[in-house]
A and B are shown apart, each in its own frame.
Chain A
Amino acid sequence: MNNKRRIWLWMSILVTFAMVLSSCAAPSTPQAQPVATEQPTAETGQAVTTEAPQPVATEEPTQAVSEPKVLIARLPKDIGNLDPAFIVGSEDDTVDRAVMEGLIRYTPDGKTANQLVESITPAEDGLSIDFKLREGIQWQRGYGELTTEDVKFSYERFIDPNLDAVYKDDFASLDHVEIINKYEGKIILKEPQATLWTTTLPMTSGLIVCKKFVEEVGMEKFKTDIVGTGPYMLKEWKPKERVVLTRNPDYWGEQPYYDEIQLIPIDDDKVAEVALEAGEVDFSLVSLASVDRFQSDPAYHVDLTPTNNYSWIAMNVENPKLQDINVRKAILYGIDVPSILTATYMGKAPQARALIPPGNLGYWEDAPLYERDVTKAKEYLAKAGLTSLDLNLAVNDVTEFRTWAEIVQQNLAEVGININILPLDSSTYWDLGIGDKGKDVELVAMNFSAMPDPAWFTMWFTCDQVGVWNWMRWCNQRFDELHKLGIKTMDPAEREKIYIEMQQLWDADAITVWITNQPLAYVSKATVQPAMYPGGLCPMLRDFKATE
């Protein structure tokens, strides 16, 4: 090699080395902050990934920038629909309530407080509510100021027959919202509604959506892309990968602690526990079987909270195999629920006996407890004219429900009912009972959560919910009438009677095997101070902090 070539070689090596060093060095400019732009996001058809406005670098003098505070939390499943009128699960609640706000809200201590309003006052006859918005609250991404137009749009869309909102019952008594001026308005009701103050206005249905944004992007995109007035903005959603929330720099209220929150969908509790222990997530729901382990480790903080979750095995009464009540009773008496609780929840979960759990208005204290009785189960099967029966049991393919299924399979085999377990991935499972294809469902393991009002438990099982969330496809006119009556009855004692009667109707038709009102165990790193909505429904991300 001659000298010239050698010099070129060394120069090339030096340049490469310098480039590598420069690429590894910290940026010399301050970390850019997201800024709102005047231009709203253009509709891109199928909403898959949502990007907030790009960070803009400033030319301010260089200053020391602290590391952004990032919280990584687990979502038990991916978001389904962020439109407050159509949310699918608590994951949607979690995201919605970090991004959007309502007139009032629940605080971490379980009380209600004004949020977007300076004042909100119900009339003495319960037929109207006056409210006055705080002035100057801005929508994220430059969609202008929050006004009573947005409130009117947000609430009245629930009663729009063309929209056919899943949660229309939340505003069952709403007549209209009257606009007095830009900031003042009046909610006009057709009749008093007891749930309005407990589960509608302070919860997800009460969130105010941006009229301009929804009209601009359309309903389809609104499922996965939202703007709000809240402390966090939805920065990005990568299906089945992550949801990223970033701090809203123009937030009108107290800034949240974390700059960014990454929500990782992890279906299985056990997988989430491994992620927690590996430091890949800071906060997660875990299985009850693991509570003792985390409680004994000072690196973690455990919150074991009783909840309004309710789990059951649903029997589709429209399916020819299950139309005979004797078959359903054979199943009811054939399943050993205490064994399911022991094997699945390490005995830490109580056995459920009816729809509404203890601690709620409408709890049916004298509800019957069906203990396993194989002889009786066989008698009922014989009454149905059967000696054996083949049934499919669909379950969400996670450890919890697979364990249920294997016990049910073994229990019912002794009765003469052969269970074929169908473990389904999350998205297939949650689509199972929707529409006419729900007619093919036979048995299905289900788990819902509810807001702290009895109407929230009953609303999914009315006739108009058949093919939506009523996967038993059970339709009882009296049940529907009572549901409506319960919502407009303001006297708690009267309401209690109504909801107990509804549960008696339910029980008489033997359409479910109640399993548990499962307490939830949330584990966070010891450095994280979580906050939960009442009943442990979902994390209150905006109020998460670091421990002192």
Chain B
Amino acid sequence: MSMENTLKTQPLKFNLERFDFILDILRRPQGAIGFTIVLLFIITVIFAPLIAPYDFARQDIPNRFQGPSAHYWLGTDQLGRDLFSRLVYGARIALSVAIPSVTIAISLGILFGLVAGYIGGTVDNLIVILMDSLQAFPSLILSLAILALLGPSLVNVVIIIGITWMPNYARVIRAQVLSAREAVYVEAERSLGATNPRIIFSHILPNVIAPALILAAMDLPWVITFEAGLSFMGLGVRPPTPSWGVILYDGFYNIRLSPWPVTWSGLALIFTTMGFTLFGETLRDVLDPRLSGTRGM
């Protein structure tokens, strides 16, 4: 083993190349519950066309506001659409917003965090000011403002969530980089003549990324509920796309005629967010025991 390799691997606290952490998660009850829910959610998302008995947009006006039955397992909404099929496809919308949004947030956050933490000085100050400015706005207000500018659509919702969540990641990564850049293995890389990009991306990034990934896992349920909230306010997806927020909104307006749309969409949100939260917290405990008992930032 070369000197370089020794220095590179020495400070790595948690080895992401090992997948036995999954087993560690499953050994813990809350981890097993969270993992199962997340797995069911992902299966639902992938196999939605096979699981849903009807087209989510198919209307059956004479059978509107039906309760659960053999025909409509979870009942129907105000236009006679099958609630089960809409919830199944709604899961797709939730994930298709959550994953790209968090990916955008974490990618931009890592980039800004690495640059700010490693370069420091004026660049660091400017990035911190930018992140503070973004965080100074309540994310909902910022989202409303941007959506008013861009117009409501799925893509815009993804972009907005990505931008509003990004400062969290940037701050976490920056804090990690600030300590990592003084580490012995980084000093050793510098003395060996490694370039800054090589030091940042080959040596620092692998050592600081884990907290960001844990944060991402814990942010997913927040993003799902955030998207549902925007859709509830009519600022998310367009009809007839069955976002859970839209189902909740329509159900809210007709709650005196049928409680089922609110009940099922509410439960879907609760279980999904609970599953991701349990999974994320267990993942944090397994991968970084130092953070056990803390939430997010």
A: which residues have CB within 8 A of B? 270, 289-290, 293, 336, 339, 342-343, 397, 399, 402-403, 405-407, 409-410, 413, 420-421, 423
Q: Which chain B residues border A399 with CB–CB below 8 Å? A: 253
Counting chain A CB atoms within 10 Å of each CB, which of B58, B59, B62, B257 scores highest? B59
Taking a contact as CB atoms under 8 Å apart, the answer to whether A410 and B234 are in contact is no
Taking a contact as CB atoms under 8 Å apart, the answer to whether A339 and B238 are in contact is no
Q: Which chain A residues border B240 with CB–CB below 8 Å? A: 406, 409-410
Closest B residue, CB atoms, query A411: B59
Query: Is there a chain A Cβ closer than 8 Å to B291's Cβ?
Result: no
Given contacts A343-B61, A343-B64, A343-B79, contact A293 B256 (CB under 8 A): yes
Q: Which chain B residues border A420 with CB–CB below 8 Å? A: 238
Counting chain A CB atoms within 10 Å of each CB, which of B59, B238, B253, B254 scores highest? B253
Q: Which chain A residues border B79 with CB–CB below 8 Å? A: 343, 403, 406-407, 410
Q: Which 8 pairs between the two chains have the least Cβ-Cβ distance?
A: A339-B61, A270-B253, A406-B239, A410-B59, A421-B239, A342-B61, A343-B61, A399-B253
Taking a contact as CB atoms under 8 Å apart, the answer to whether A405 and B78 are in contact is no
Number of A-B contacts (CB under 8 A): 42
Taking a contact as CB atoms under 8 Å apart, the answer to whether A407 and B239 are in contact is no
Count of chain B residues near A, Cβ 8 A: 17
Query: Is there a chain A Cβ closer than 8 Å to B213's Cβ?
Result: no
Beyond the given A343-B80, A410-B58, A421-B238, please list 17 additional residue pairs across the A-B interface where CB-CB is below 8 A. A293-B256, A339-B59, A343-B61, A343-B78, A397-B234, A402-B239, A406-B239, A406-B240, A407-B59, A407-B79, A409-B57, A409-B239, A409-B240, A410-B57, A410-B240, A420-B238, A421-B239
Tell me the interface secondary structure of chain A in the complex. helix
Q: Which chain B residues border A342 with CB–CB below 8 Å? A: 61-62, 64
List 25 A-B pairs, Cβ < 8 Å.
Answer: A289-B254, A289-B257, A290-B256, A293-B256, A342-B62, A342-B64, A343-B61, A343-B78, A343-B79, A343-B80, A397-B234, A403-B78, A403-B79, A406-B79, A406-B240, A407-B61, A407-B79, A409-B57, A410-B57, A410-B58, A410-B79, A410-B240, A420-B238, A421-B238, A421-B239
Counting chain B CB atoms within 10 Å of each CB, which of A270, A343, A423 scores highest? A343
Closest B residue, CB atoms, query A340: B61
Q: Which chain B residues border A413 with CB–CB below 8 Å? A: 57
Q: How far is the CA of A396 from the CA of B57 in the complex (A)?
A: 21
Tell me the minimal C-beta distance from A173 to chain B in angstroms: 46
Q: Which chain A residues border B78 with CB–CB below 8 Å? A: 343, 403
Closest A residue, CB atoms, query B61: A339
Q: Which chain A residues border B234 with CB–CB below 8 Å? A: 397, 423
Q: How far is the CA of A513 from the CA of B79 in the complex (A)?
A: 20
Tell me the minimal C-beta distance from B245 to chain A in angstroms: 14
Counting chain B CB atoms within 10 Å of each CB, which of A270, A397, A405 scores highest? A270
Q: Which chain A residues border B58 with CB–CB below 8 Å? A: 410
Q: How far is the CA of A290 from the CA of B239 in the complex (A)?
A: 24
Q: Which chain A residues border B64 with CB–CB below 8 Å? A: 342-343
Tell me the minimal C-beta distance from B41 to chain A in angstroms: 27
Q: Which chain B residues border A421 with CB–CB below 8 Å? A: 238-239
Q: How far is the CA of A474 from the CA of B93 in the complex (A)?
A: 41
Partner of B239, one of A289, A339, A405: A405
Q: Which chain A residues border B254 with CB–CB below 8 Å? A: 289
Tell me the minimal C-beta distance from B108 to chain A in angstroms: 30
Q: How far is the CA of A336 from the CA of B62 in the complex (A)?
A: 13
Q: Which chain B residues border A407 with CB–CB below 8 Å? A: 59, 61, 79
Interface flags for B42-64 (1: CB within 8 Å of A; 0: not) read 00000000000000011101101
Tell me the minimal C-beta distance from A547 to chain B in angstroms: 26
Q: Which chain B residues border A343 with CB–CB below 8 Å? A: 61, 64, 78-80
Q: How far is the CA of A235 from the CA of B238 in the complex (A)?
A: 41
